[in-house]
Amino acid sequence: MTMPQQALGRIQWGDLTFGPGTPYTVTTLEGLDDMPEIRADDLERPQQHGDYTGPDFTGPRVVQLKLGLRAETPDDLRALTLALRAATQPQRQPAQLRFLDQGALVWAKVRRRSLPYDAEYLWRIGDAALELYCADPYVYGLEEKAAWTAAYSPSAGRTYPLVYGSAAPLVRNLVLNPSTEVDLSNTLLYSFATRERITSDARYGKASIRHTATSGGTFSGTRYTIESTAAGTVVTASAWVKVDGTGTSVFFAFRSPSSTLDSITVATPPAGQWTRVSTQYTVPAGQTLSEVAIAYNAPVGAVWLADAMMVEASPTLHDYIDGDQPGCTWETTPNGSPSRLHPTTGRSYGAQGTSGRVTAVNEGAADAYPVLRLDGPVANPAIEQVTTGGSLVLDATIQANEYLLIDTRSRAVLLMGSSPRRSWVRAGSVWPVLAPGTNELAYRGSALPGAPDQSSLLTVTWRDTSL
């Protein structure tokens, strides 16, 4: 659980992070802790003082965010401006605005963006202002919580956690220092260039490596040390680069402890923007892979950036991770060991419920709307909100290897997560919500003929919720 703190800390929007340790300082935040405008249901009392008042509901939340851009050169400042512009395009659907150090998030869409140009001051610093519209006004906990229980206790049940659909892979980044957040350790200059670690422009975190091609040859780059990988292993290598457009190609070089084993050229990315490039490679027989380099074929004087190197012992390309990313860990030494993203990232499971009951704690200040998953086999399942009363009853049969998802906020009922079954809800049912504090839910259901020893499961997921 994240400890409460008044300091705002870091804010994440898409792939950009604002706040401490980034080139985007947060100067003002409005609307996160404010109450949204009230949508009242009041009526005047005829020929009397006062009103008849009904329940109060809030309108949407509007978050105002002001940023200070801090760079080392005017070109770096322009790159920060373009990155922010690219990340704040009009949206079809809301996305998470995450307050990483406060353990909170809202679902938002960018509605206004201001990136003023002031020639008198525009050298290494700039300003920006964003307005984000939250149709859903709730402020949610960053961590998704979950708890579960069986409908009854048979002599032989099923093990938990279940695999929902297909198992999420364990993602590992074999690169020891992939984003050079602290220094250039576990990296080496690759061929004809000078290089330096900069904090004015980065794809992830706060730092990247800037290369300048010199007179010794036609390419420049960085070698990244990785966890030693045996012969026959298929690896996927990727990196984020920003090139100046003067070169002909970008390539990866795969190295043993003593020499380059092979190099693979990839398509030349567009100039002036961060682009992810990737390729696959199989470690040859009798060899060990210990380094992977990223390089740019370009003439003397070419300047380009590299960041976020990732090497996976897998033919599948996953989203970039390192130990500093949310939900990721360093396996041993920070910025000096492989990183991993666990399948259970972002969700904490409570203890198994007993006797068909489960406890869910909402540490927010407003009702939380849980998502319920029912795994068969079960007939006529019912979920009772013991703490506040009311029961949701389904006139349905869920077979073994089938499941039903129930979203109590939208009141969607979906068999196998996609087929609508709203008609299964019995008339008079009460949709369960989680009041602030401790809530107890009870799960009831009948065993199907021929499956008396197979237990049905109720899984409850929710986030702490406030207004």
Q: How far is CA 360 from CA 103, 148, 459, 463, in A?
A: 18, 9, 11, 10
Domain ranges for the chain: 11-140, 144-165+347-466, 171-341
Give the span between the Cα atoms of 250 and 267, in whole angstroms. 7
- For 326, other C-beta atoms within 10 Å of its C-beta total 14
Q: What is the per-residue pLDDT for 402?
A: 85
**pLDDT (average), residues 406-429:** 91
* Residue 453 vs residue 391, higher pLDDT: 391
- Domain spanning 144-165+347-466, CATH architecture: Sandwich (2.60)
Cis, peptide link before residue 432, omega less than 30° from 0: no
Q: Which residues contact 329 (CB under 8 A, 6 or more apart)?
A: 323, 339, 340, 342
Range name among 239-243, 316-320, 393-397 with the lowest pLDDT average: 316-320
- pLDDT tens for 281-296 read 999 999 999 999 999 9
Q: What is the per-residue pLDDT for 179?
A: 93
> Of 262, 267, 259, 265, whose CA–CA distance to 282 is shortest?
262
Query: 11-140 and 144-165+347-466: same fold?
Result: no
Give the span between the Cα atoms of 195 and 221, in whole angstroms. 8
Residue 299 has pLDDT above 70, yes or no: yes
Q: What is the per-residue pLDDT for 162?
A: 42
Per-residue DSSP letter, 409: T
Q: Which residues contact 50 (CB under 8 A, 6 or more apart)?
A: none
Residue 19 has pLDDT above 80, yes or no: yes
Q: How confident is the model at residue 418 (pLDDT cuts 50, 70, 90)?
A: confident
Give the span between the Cα atoms of 40 and 272, in whole angstroms. 50
> Of 338, 399, 336, 409, whose CA–CA distance to 371 is shortest?
409
Q: What is the per-residue pLDDT for 403?
A: 87
* Phi-psi domain of 67 (left: phi exceeds 0; alpha: psi -120 through 50; beta: other): beta
pTM of the model: 0.58
Residue 297 has pLDDT above 50, yes or no: yes
- Domain spanning 11-140, CATH architecture: Beta Barrel (2.40)
Give the span between the Cα atoms of 228 and 236, in whole angstroms. 14
Q: Tokens 């029961």 identify what position?
A: 391
Q: How confident is the model at residue 6 (pLDDT cuts 50, 70, 90)?
A: low
Strands (E), 50-178: 51-53, 57-58, 61-70, 95-99, 104-114, 125-134, 139-141, 144-150, 171-173
Strands (E), 217-356: 219-229, 234-242, 249-255, 260-266, 275-282, 289-297, 303-312, 328-330, 339-341, 347-352
Residue type, 204: Y
Maximum separation of any 2 CA atoms in the chain, in Å: 95
Give the span between the Cα atoms of 11 and 225, in whole angstroms. 30
**pLDDT (average), residues 289-314:** 94
Q: Tokens 């009103």 identify what position?
A: 51
| Average pLDDT score over the chain | 86
**pLDDT (average), residues 421-450:** 90
Residue type, 174: L
Give the span between the Cα atoms of 53 and 42, in whole angstroms. 4
- pLDDT tens for 135-169 read 999 999 988 888 888 875 443 344 444 434 333 45
Q: What is the per-residue pLDDT for 276?
A: 92
**pLDDT (average), residues 453-466:** 83
- pLDDT tens for 210-219 read 999 987 668 8
> Of 129, 90, 297, 310, whose CA–CA distance to 203 is shortest?
310
Indicate if the alpha-carbon torsion angle 30, 362, 391, 346 is positive or negative.
positive
The values of phi and psi at residue 256, to 5°, are -90, 180
- For 169, other C-beta atoms within 10 Å of its C-beta total 12
Give the span between the Cα atoms of 427 and 391, in whole angstroms. 11
Give the span between the Cα atoms of 150 and 458, in whole angstroms. 6
As a CATH number, domain 171-341 is 2.60.120.260
Proportion of the chain above pLDDT 90, given as a percent: 55
Per the structure block, which two tokens stand in for 184?
Answer: 């250039």
Q: Which residues contact 460 (CB under 8 A, 6 or more apart)?
A: 146, 147, 148, 358, 360, 370, 371, 372, 441
